[in-house]
Amino acid sequence: MVKDFIKPIAVLSLICLVISCALAVTNGFTKPVILEAAAMRAEEARYAVLPQATGFEPLGVEGLPASVREAYRSENRVGYVFVIAAGGYGGEMILMCGVGADGKLVKSTTLEHSETKGLGSKVTESHFEDRFVGLSGGFDGVEAITGATISSTAYISAISDALQAYLTIEEGS
């Protein structure tokens, strides 16, 4: 009876232990690679939304709108890059916005989203994202995507938060 009970549990526990160790070891190898690749992708994305920048220095996000996750100032002072988390239709939507030194949006891009494919996901298409280029406010005239009101609204609120963050920083300095 005891043998019936002890052996199965022991074998199962041993297997769990061995697997966990193997995974911990592999994690040790792969985690740095993953983080490095992610950092490179983030850097590339920053250059994509603010092409004239030469380098980026991170800023603190205290005092900025709540949805701003990260803020960067370009080293050659041509503008700022903000990473914004908006509440979309299918969950969080992460955007990266480049705001020029003149307070106008240079470019915006979606990093992550869980919007409905074919509907809300259209906010990531260039014909929608381009509507915001060069704006520094006044989004009333911008058309939302038909049938994707929530995704569009989330996107727009993210952009206005980015512009707000710009104003906050400029006022502070």
Partner 1 sequence: MDFRALVIILMGAVLVNNYVLRQFLGICPFLGVSKDLKNATGMSIAVIFVMLMATAATWPIQFYLLDRNGLGYLQTIVFILIIAALVQLVETVLKKYIRVLYNALGVYLPLITTNCAVLGVTIANIGKGYTFAQSMVNALGSGLGFLLAMVIFSGVRSHIESSDPPESFKGLPITLISAAILSLSFFGFGGVIENLFGS
Partner 2 sequence: MSRLKEVTKGIIKENPVLVLILGTCPTLAVSTQASNAIGMGLAATAVLLGSNIVISLLRSVIPDKVRIPCYIVLIAGFVTLVEMIVEAYTYTLYQALGIYLPLIVVNCIILGRAEMYANKNSVLNSALDAIGMGIGFTLTLLVMASIREIFGNGTWFGMEIPWLKDNSISVLTMAPGGFVVFGCLIALVSKISKGRVRTNGESKCEGCPSAQACGKQSAS
Task: Please give the residue ranges that form the binding site for partner 1 (CB under 8 A).
Answer: 19-20, 23, 27, 87, 89-92, 114, 116, 118-120, 146-150, 153
Q: Does 4 bind partner 2 (CB under 8 A)?
A: yes
Alpha-carbon torsion angle 138, 141, 144, 146, nearest 10: 170
Other CB atoms within 10 A of residue 150 CB = 16
Residues 103-122 that bind partner 2 (CB under 8 A): 118
Q: Whole-number minimum distance, CB 54 to partner 1, in Å?
A: 33
Is there binding between residue 52 and partner 2 (CB under 8 A)?
no
Q: Rounded to whole angstroms, how far apart are CA atoms 133 and 39? A: 26
Which pair of tokens denotes residue 91?
A: 């969950």
List the x/- string, 6-25, binding to partner 2 by CB under 8 A.
-xxx-xx--xx--x--xx--
Tell me the closest approach of the beta carbon of residue 4 to partner 2, in angstroms: 7
Query: Three-state DSSP class for 78?
Result: coil
Q: What is the DSSP letter of 138?
A: -
Label residue 59 exposed, middle or buried (CB < 10 Å: 0-12, 13-18, 19+): middle
Nearer to partner 1, 67 or 74 (CB): 67
Q: Which of partner 2, partner 1, none does residue 33 bind to, with CB < 5 to 8 Å depending on kind?
A: partner 2
Taking the C-alpha atoms of residue 157 and residue 35, their distance in angstroms, rounded to an integer, is 29
**Interface with partner 2 includes 43 (CB under 8 A)?**
no
In angstroms, the CA 16 to CA 22 distance is 10
Which among partner 1, partner 2, none contacts residue 51 (Cβ within 5 to 8 A by kind)?
none
| Residues engaged in binding partner 2 (CB under 8 A) | 4, 7-9, 11-12, 15-16, 19, 22-23, 26-27, 30, 33-34, 37, 41, 118
